[in-house]
Amino acid sequence: MLASWLLLPFLMGSPGDGDAASRLDNDTLPALWIHGERIILRPGVELEDASILVEKGVIVAIGADLEAPEGARKIEGKVICAGFIDPWTSLGLDPTSIADVRTQASTLTTDSLDPFSLPHLRQEALEAGVTSLRLQAGKRAALGGLGAVVRTSALQQSEVLLGDACLAVTLSSALASRRSDIFSRAAELVRLMGQLREGEKYRQDQVEYRHELEAWQKEIAEATKELADDFKKAKKKRDKDKKSAAEKDKEFKEKKYKEDKEPKKPKQDPNRAIMARVAEGELPLVIEARDISTIRNLLSETKSLQRLRVVISGADGAGFFAEELAERKIPVLLFPSAGAGGLKGRADLDLALAGELSRAGVPVLIGSGGGGSSRDLRLLAAMAISHGLSPEAALNAITYGPAKAFDVSDRIGSLKRGLDADILVFDGEPMDTRSTLQFVISRGRVVAE
C-alpha cells in the first residue's frame, strides 16, 4: 500500500476555483527532474538512462544528458511511463446523472462532475497510477451524451482535458436490458442510424445555407454598388419620366425595387448538431454492444458512414469479427473480468478476448467497466496479460491508446515535450504487479509517493 499525501484543494476544491487559480498554482510549482534507467515514451518507443524536466506542470525536455536545474526536485526510479487513463468509468460523477436514462446527444457529462463525490476512491485511483478518466453520464441510457476526459486529482472545470471527448450509445440499454432481447437492440441500432443520417442532413442544410447566404450578400453588395454608381443617371431619368407624365396628364408610378429575400436560416437543433459531428468523424462514437448479432449488425450498418469513428465497448462477441475490426481500425474497449458476463460456454472469454483481438491487429483499450472504482485498472491489464495480451499492448491499452481514441493525445497518454506532466515512476516493469509504484505525478504535482 502506498504511503500517500494528496493536497486537499485538489481533491475537495470547489468548481468555482477557476482556471486563473489553476494557472497560479502551476506557476508556483517547483521544477521536477525525473531520472529513469528506462523511460517509456509510449509503448514501443523507449529511452535508456535518460531524464525528464518538468516546469509549470508541462514536460519541457527529455534526454540523456539533462542536468537538474537549481531548485528542482530530483526523483529517480527504474522505469518511467505516462500516467494511466481509465477510458470507461463514472468515478466522480453525481450518482443521479449516472443512472439518468433521459440523457440526450447534447447532454454534457461535465455538468455532472461532483468534486465531493467519493474522494477516497479518487485517492486510491491516483495511488494506483490512474491520473485521468473518461467519464460518461447516462450509463444505462440509449444516448449517454457527451463524455469527458478529466483529471482524477480534481473534478473541476479547470481540470477538464476535453469536455466533448465522445458520444456514448448503449445498444443494451434500459429499454433492451435483457441480453436475449435481440429485436429491441436491433430497433435501437436502426434508430441510431436514423439519427446519424439526420445529422448528416442537418450539416448539409447548414452548409447550403452558408453558401446561399454568401451568394445573397454578394448580390446585395453588387446591387448597392450599381445603384450608387448609377444614382445620378437614374435620378435624371426619373425626373424626366415624371415631367413627361405631368405633361401628358398621366399618373406617374414609381418603379419599385424588389430585393431578393435573405435565405431562411435552418432551425438550430443541438442534438442533431452533435450527430452531425459524429457522422463526420469529428467526435468518436462509443457504442456498448456485447452480443454477436448486435456487433454484426453494427458493423454492417455503419460501413457506409466512412468518416464515422466507432469505439465498441463491452463487445463479448468481438472475437468473431477481429479481421474486420482490424481492417477498419475500430478500437474495442474491454473490461477484462471473468465476472463480466461472457458468452455462454466460454467463461474465460472476457480475459482472453483482449489478447485475441490484439494479435489480430485490433486496437484494444482496457477500462474498469463504467463503475465508480478505477484503482484496479493496472490489475485488469495484468489479468489480460496472463491470458495472452502482450505487456506492451496492455500498457498501450491504458495510456496512449485511450488518449488517441478520445482525442487527448496532444495532452496526455505519452511522454513528450509540450505534453502535460502525468508521469509514473516504478521500481520495475509497469505491467508487472510485483513492481512498486513509487511516485505519481499529475500535471507536475507529486500527488502520491
Q: Kindly tell me if the per-residue pLDDT of 9 is higher than 70.
A: no
C-alpha cell at 108: 454534457
Q: Are 136 and 149 in contact (CB under 8 A)?
A: no
Secondary structure of residue 250 in the 3-state scheme:
coil
The answer to whether the CB of 129 falls within 8 A of the CB of 420 is: no
**In this structure, what C-alpha cell is assigned to residue 180?**
436475449
Name the superfamily (CATH) of residues 84-200+271-408. Metal-dependent hydrolases (3.20.20.140)
* Between 261 and 168, residue with greater pLDDT: 168
- For residue range 355-391, list pLDDT tens digits in order: 999 999 999 999 999 887 899 999 999 999 999 999 9
| Backbone torsion region of residue 222, taken as left when φ is above 0, otherwise alpha when ψ lies between -120 and 50, otherwise beta | alpha
What's the pLDDT tens digit per position in 180-202?
Answer: 466 677 888 899 999 999 999 99
Question: If you average pLDDT over residues 83-105, what whole number do you get?
Answer: 92
Enumerate the β-bridge partners of residue 48.
38
Average pLDDT over residues 53-63: 96
Q: Which of 54, 158, 77 is nearest to 437 (CA)?
A: 77
pLDDT value at residue 20: 44
Count Cβ atoms below 10 Å from residue 278 Cβ, excluding itself: 26
What phi and psi, each to the nearest 5 degrees, are found at residue 114? Answer: -125, 100
Which of 49-63, 64-78, 247-261 shows the lowest per-residue confidence on average (mean pLDDT)?
Answer: 247-261
- Note the helical H segments in 90-181: 95-99, 119-127
Q: Which residue has the higher pLDDT, 116 or 195?
A: 195
- What pLDDT score does 210 carry? 81
Residues 6+ apart with CB under 8 A from 320: 292, 295, 296
Closest CA to 44 of 327, 441, 397: 397
CATH topology of 31-83+413-449 equal to that of 84-200+271-408? no
Residue 242, C-alpha cell as written in the block: 415624371
The Cα 153–Cα 17 span in angstroms is 14
Predicted confidence band of residue 334 (pLDDT cuts 50, 70, 90): very high
Domain ranges of the chain: 31-83+413-449, 84-200+271-408, 205-247
Question: CA 350, 103, 204 angle in degrees (round to 5)?
Answer: 100
Query: Which DSSP string corresponds to 155-201?
Result: -SGGGEEEEEEEEEEETTSGGG-STT-HHHHHHHHHHHHHHHHHHHH
Residue 142 DSSP symbol? S
Pick the CATH number of 31-83+413-449 from 2.170.120.20, 3.40.50.11540, 3.10.310.10, 2.30.40.10: 2.30.40.10
| Rounded Cα–Cα distance for residues 309 and 287 (Å) | 10
Give the span between the Cα atoms of 317 and 188, in whole angstroms: 18
Single-letter code of the amino acid located at 332:
V
Interatomic CA distance for residues 446 and 449, integer angstroms: 7
Res 217 pLDDT > 90: no
CB 12 within 8 A of CB 116: yes
Report, as an integer, the average pLDDT of 230-244. 65
pLDDT at 400 over 90: yes
Higher pLDDT, 50 or 255: 50
Query: CA–CA separation, 256 vs 318, rounded Å?
Result: 69
Q: What is the pLDDT of residue 296?
A: 94
Give residue 281's pLDDT.
95
Q: Give the three-state DSSP class for 420.
A: strand
Angle (CA) 288-294-296 rounded to 5° is 115
pLDDT reported for residue 227: 64
Average pLDDT in the 169-178 region? 59
How many CA within 13 A on the CB side of residue 166?
A: 32
pLDDT of residue 216: 76
DSSP state, residue 157: G
pTM, full prediction: 0.84
Q: Mean pLDDT across the chain, nearest whole number?
A: 85
Strand (E) or helix (H) holding 85: strand 84-89
Q: What is the largest CA-CA distance in the chain?
A: 110
Give the C-alpha separation, 417 to 402, whole Å.
19
Neighbours of 59 (CB within 10 A): 23
Q: Residue 209: what pLDDT? A: 77
Average of per-residue pLDDT across 164-189: 71
Pairing of strands 310-314, 285-289: parallel
Q: Does the pLDDT at position 341 exceed 70?
A: no
Please report, rounded to a whole number, the percentage of residues in the chain having pLDDT higher than 70. Answer: 80
